Amino acid sequence: MNRQFLITAMLFLLIITGYNQFVTIPRARAAQQAAEAQLKKAEQESQRQTAAQAVLASASPVSKETASAPKPEEFFTLSLPQADVTFSSKGAGIKTYLFKDTIEDVDLTPYKGEGYFATLPQVDFAEFARTKNSITFVGDIVPGFSVYKEYRFNDNGINNVSVTFENNTAQALAVSPWNWNFGPGLATVKSEMNDNERESKAVYLVQEKNKKKPTLEVFAKGDKQPELPWLWAGIENRYFLAVLIPQGWKPGDLAASKEKIGTQKRLWGLAGEGTLEGPQFSVGVPGVTVEAKSKETYKSDFYFGPKDYKQFLTLPYHLDRSIAFGFFGALGKIARNILEMFYGWTGNYGVAIIMITVLLQAILFKFTLMQLKSAAQMRKIQPEMKRIQDKYKGNPESLNRETLALYRKYKVNPLAGCLPMLIQLPIFLALYNALRTSWSLHGAKFVFWITDLSSKDPYYLLPILMGAVMYFQQKGNIPAGTDPAQAAMFKYMPLIFTLLFMNFPSGLVLYWLTNSLLTFGIQTFVNKKIAKAN
């Protein structure tokens, strides 16, 4: 290999390398960038066309040139006395509702989704105007055809929202059916989060024939459409409600589903984590044709906030029907009214709970006394009852005859202990539900460490004290000669109740503790009186 050949080969390699580096590769990159730009442009045009056609019916002429281009999502926040409300440009829905709670601010809409009261999410909305309590958005579907959406928040809690289609073109345009969206899920205060999955529901209110007040119905996935017109629809949990109330337009179909909104520990983490689901709900709106140079407006009222019974009674639309008083609802409402009256006297809901418990015990004293006397008499004859049972173990007829004779001898009526319990049970259940659903107890202080009667006792002192009182109460009720298995059940019952009440709202525990103390006092009095009589 001679020197001239080597020099020629090296020059050739340099020329090839230089050509590839400065000519071939830049051309390839330019071609690739041009192709990507063309593809992106095509996708944007497709999105423009799709967005417009998703709003307008297929009969409406929409060209690629006239459809507006999609934009990145933007957010707009309106600060109100009751909440900081953040809206999304995609559908102008409420993306964040930061409720200004008495304890701490609560984000009621923390889950991913289009947002509450979102409409036409394929349209890009921009802020059009605002005041201290209102905000208006506008979105262009196609040039000359716009949609305006206005929210107005009022002091009384009944707010307004409207959607207006404005057609400034020279031809009629048909709008496809669209939806008002809710969810997924509705959050709540920390003390209620463990139960919130069960408490969150998609609901609507209907007025049934021959009924004085409307009925709250739950709407789940796969349910049939309501046969009767409904007054309002939305999502609720134990403490909060978000509903749409149409004004002058006929709603379309309702649709509901369960959506994953996160994970949650099960059984205090002992059973690991499970999927946390929340309701997704929508209210359909039928399509409409907007004539040239005209408008079509859909006005609605809405409520978004706490389920405050006192406030609801001053508002229209029967929002109080969203508060569950249970089977004995009438009694529950009476109990709540009395509770509010006692609070007006004392200024302390804890004291009011104690007062209403004392009042109930006074009203039911005769029945409580009857029940405790019956129980004391049954304990008294227990040894003789045991003897008869052992003697006539294989002779049911004689056993029944001797048992009845024993009851007549000591004037004992076994049913006397059951009747008072049946009378007291509805009242106690009604009060239980009244306290459980009372927004007034939220953030209400009692004494010292009890600063929120709607949440659990942070140190568990009330449930432990309640369990101790129940233990001594049960101990005095166990008859001599009772089967060991039954005796063990009586002894462990207070422990079970203590564990059960650990995470109950402290207001409920206070009620049960007060009731147990009063019952224990009456029981001690009855036992001493019977002992002296003997």
Residues 425 and 471 in one domain: yes
Q: What is the mean pLDDT of residues 95-120?
A: 92
65 band by pLDDT with thresholds 50, 70 and 90: very low
Residues 163 and 302 in one domain: yes
H/E element holding 274?
strand 273-285
d(CA 247, CA 289): 19
Domain span at residue 190 reads 75-323
The pLDDT of residue 414 is 67
247 three-state secondary structure: strand
The interaxial angle of helices 329-346 and 418-436, nearest 10 deg, is 60
217-241 confidence digits (pLDDT tens): 999 998 999 989 999 999 999 999 9
Residues 370 and 232 in one domain: no
Residues 348 and 432 in one domain: yes
The interaxial angle of helices 365-380 and 418-436, nearest 10 deg, is 130
Using the 3D structure, point to which of 299, 323, 347 is the last residue of a domain: 323
Residues 419 and 339 in one domain: yes
Query: Scanning the structure block, which residue is given the tokens 């509010």?
Result: 340
Q: What is the mean pLDDT of residues 388-402?
A: 76
Using the 3D structure, point to which of 323, 352, 372 is the last residue of a domain: 323
Confidence check: pLDDT of 102 > 90: no
Share of residues in the chain with pLDDT > 90 (%): 41
Residues 307 and 373 in one domain: no
Using the 3D structure, point to which of 300, 323, 346 is the last residue of a domain: 323
Confidence check: pLDDT of 77 > 90: yes
Residues 146 and 288 in one domain: yes
Share of residues in the chain with pLDDT > 70 (%): 80
Mention every residue, 6+ apart, whose C-beta is less than 8 A from residue 213.
318, 321
161-174 confidence digits (pLDDT tens): 999 999 999 999 99
The pLDDT of residue 408 is 76
Residues 207 and 301 in one domain: yes
282-325 confidence digits (pLDDT tens): 999 999 999 999 999 999 999 999 999 989 999 999 999 999 88
Residues 295 and 189 in one domain: yes
Q: What is the mean pLDDT of residues 347-375?
A: 84
Mean of the per-residue pLDDT values of the chain: 82
Question: Which among 400, 361, 233, 236 has a CA at the least distance from the CA of 300?
Answer: 233
Residues 284 and 232 in one domain: yes
Residues 365 and 234 in one domain: no
- Of 178-187, 286-295, 321-330, 404-413, the one with minimum mean pLDDT is 404-413
Q: What is the mean pLDDT of residues 123-140?
A: 95
Q: What is the mean pLDDT of residues 176-191?
A: 91
Confidence check: pLDDT of 46 > 80: no
1-36 confidence digits (pLDDT tens): 455 545 555 555 555 555 555 555 556 555 555 544
Residues 334 and 319 in one domain: no
CATH number for the domain harbouring residue 282: 2.70.98.90
437-464 confidence digits (pLDDT tens): 888 888 888 888 998 888 888 889 999 9
